[in-house]
């Protein structure tokens, strides 16, 4: 592990799943989930990369992509540009960006949606995500899966419905899955994510 990311690779990997953790977490937070997902993508060798957010969390623990309470929206464009540079840098090796998908949770989900919608990725997964102010998907936005709990008290599920509305309006291949639960990624939806990855990783 470096200070910037965790990489779990396999010899001859042909595809990649990038993970973006939430506010106050760190790069290791989503790795167990990522490993479960890539192990189910049969007939594909998938590299797992989990990025570490660049800023120390304002509460003194974990990391953040930008200040959130209160939200530092002015820092978002820089955060997005920085993440795009990091993604494009790791995609210069044997696995191209077209064979890379991104999964983000909460603040990481917002970063995944904002950053990934302008990149030629295989797909995007936003879990408990929200749209940044002024965000609109590009016409070439990758296929997108959104998961969100109806009882989410951190990021209300209307945020996912707003993202989905923008995607539908722009005729982007997208899917919204709402569930009875809170700020989480329920295990019963792992299969939904796996199905999307299998479809995208051609």
The arithmetic mean of pLDDT across residues 123-147, rounded, is 97
Alpha carbon of residue 125 to chain centroid: 5
- Measure the CA dihedral 176/143/170/168, to 10°: -20
With cut-offs at 50, 70 and 90, classify the pLDDT of residue 42. confident
Cα 150 from Cα 170, distance rounded (Å)? 25
Closest by Cα among 30, 166, 136, 49 to 99: 49
- Of the two residues 196 and 58, the one the predictor is more confident about is 196
Q: What 3 state SS string does the chain have?
A: CCCCEEEECCCCCCEEEEEECCCCCCCCCCHHHHHHHHHHCCCCCEEEEEECCCEECCCCCCEECCCECCECHHHHHHHHHHHHHHHHHHCCCCCCHHHEEEEEECHHHHHHHHHHCCCCCCEEEEECCCCCCCCCCCCCCCCEEEEEECCCCCCCCHHHHHHHHHHHHCCCCEEEEEECCCCCCCHHHHHHHHHHHHHHCC
Mean pLDDT of 171-197: 96
CB 123 within 8 A of CB 141: no
Residue-level pLDDT at 58:
76
Give the lowest-confidence range in 17-26, 90-99, 175-184: 90-99
The CA distance from 189 to 185, in Å, is: 7
State the residue range of the domain holding 70: 5-200
Between these two residues, 77 and 57, which has the higher pLDDT value?
77
The CATH number assigned to the domain holding 169 equals 3.40.50.1820
Tally of structural domains, the chain: 1
- What pLDDT is attached to residue 1? 38
Contact between 20 and 54 (Cβ < 8 Å): no
Residue 199 has pLDDT above 70, yes or no: yes
């Amino acid at each position: 592990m470096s200070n910037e990311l965790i990489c779990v690779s396999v010899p001859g990997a042909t595809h990649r799943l990038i993970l973006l953790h939430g506010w106050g977490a760190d790069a290791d937070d989503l790795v167990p989930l990522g490993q479960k997902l890539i192990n189910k993508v049969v007939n594909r060798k998938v590299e797992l990369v989990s990025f570490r957010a660049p800023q120390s969390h304002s509460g003194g623990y974990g990391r953040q992509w930008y200040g959130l309470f209160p939200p530092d929206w002015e820092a978002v464009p820089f955060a997005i540009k920085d993440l795009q540079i990091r993604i494009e840098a790791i995609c210069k090796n044997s696995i191209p960006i077209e064979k890379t998908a991104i999964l983000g949770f909460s603040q990481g989900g917002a970063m995944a949606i904002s950053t990934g919608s302008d990149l030629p990725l295989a797909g995007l997964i936003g879990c408990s995500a929200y749209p940044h102010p002024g965000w609109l998907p590009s016409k070439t936005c990758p296929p997108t899966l959104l998961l969100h709990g109806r009882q989410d008290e951190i990021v209300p599920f209307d945020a996912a419905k707003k993202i989905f509305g923008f995607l539908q309006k722009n005729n982007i291949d997208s899917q919204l899955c709402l569930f009875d639960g809170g700020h989480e990624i329920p295990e019963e939806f792992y299969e939904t994510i796996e199905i999307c990855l299998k479809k995208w990783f051609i």
